[in-house]
Amino acid sequence: MSGKIRLLILSLTSCLFIGCAINPITGEEELMLLSESQDIEIGRKYAPEVEKELGGKIDNPALQNYIDSVGQRIARISHRSDWEYHFVALKDDSLNAFALPGGYIFITKGMLEKLQTEAQLAAILAHETVHVVARDTANAMSSQIGLSLLLSAVTSGETSRGVLTAAQLTQQIISLRYSRKDEREADLGGLDYMVAAGYNPYGMVETMQMLENEQKVRTVEFLSSHPPPENRTAYLTQRIQTGNYNLTELRIGKGDYRRTVLDRLTN
Ligand SMILES: [Zn+2]
């Protein structure tokens, strides 16, 4: 039996056993090959590997607390506010942010250096929080890495019979690719989360424009794993304009971001 057919049969039968979960972002029923506890197990196992692979955590407790506090503000108003979330800044120079299943969200030094406000940071963290809440990460991992390899790696404490080393598997996790549909949902869902958490939603438009501009001169790892949908800036701006938000009450946080992040990265 070919691997694909086996996966299909596994998918169909597991819908009966694991169940088709409702994606709270879209309200649609989706097949979930991993259980929520497996999401958390995978995140917990691979978070330290991913940190190691990307240069380790930035060694500045005040900066880490700030990133985490912005992330927790968003997590608390998300559809899965009862989950435990971890927002961590890594030393890597790439322009990237990504999530592991189970609430582990990372942002790189390269990305932090290009952002200018707390609202822009909130935009990236909100986008990633939607991927976690919608369980896009868990789905991408099961389809792009393979469910059996993932589960055996988690349960045995090793990668499957030496097929992949932990470093290779980590590399695959870092380079997971989402669909454009997932991206659009993460953008719009993230925009809603930003506003609900009290952030000015233009922070997301600015961030996406910055990434698109950067891509003209360098590799933007974030855009390789999160392929930009068509008209991204247009649909984000339209959503803000029709959203009737009281923008004057929503936080931008330029001074705090500079003092807590940018000044500390250069020192
Ligand atoms: Zn994304």
Residue 82 lies in a domain: yes
pLDDT at 175 over 90: no
Residue 246 lies in a domain: yes
Q: Which single residue is written with the structure tokens 């250096």?
A: 113
Residue 27 lies in a domain: no
| Distance from residue 89's CA to the centre of ligand 1 (Å) | 17
CA-to-CA distance for 111 and 127, rounded, in angstroms? 14
CA-to-CA distance for 126 and 197, rounded, in angstroms? 10
Tell me the β-bridge partners of 42.
none
| Distance from residue 183's CA to the centre of ligand 1 (Å) | 5
Domain count of the fold of the chain? 1
Question: What pLDDT shows up at residue 192?
Answer: 96
90-105 pLDDT, tens digit each: 999 999 999 998 899 9
Instruction: For the chain, give the mean pLDDT.
Output: 88
115-126 pLDDT, tens digit each: 999 999 999 999
SS3 label, residue 137 = helix
Domain range for 132:
34-266
| Distance from residue 256's CA to the centre of ligand 1 (Å) | 26
| Distance from residue 120's CA to the centre of ligand 1 (Å) | 15
| Distance from residue 232's CA to the centre of ligand 1 (Å) | 12
| pTM for this entry | 0.88
Closest Cα to residue 221, out of 86, 114, 63? 114
Residue 232 lies in a domain: yes
Residue 5 lies in a domain: no
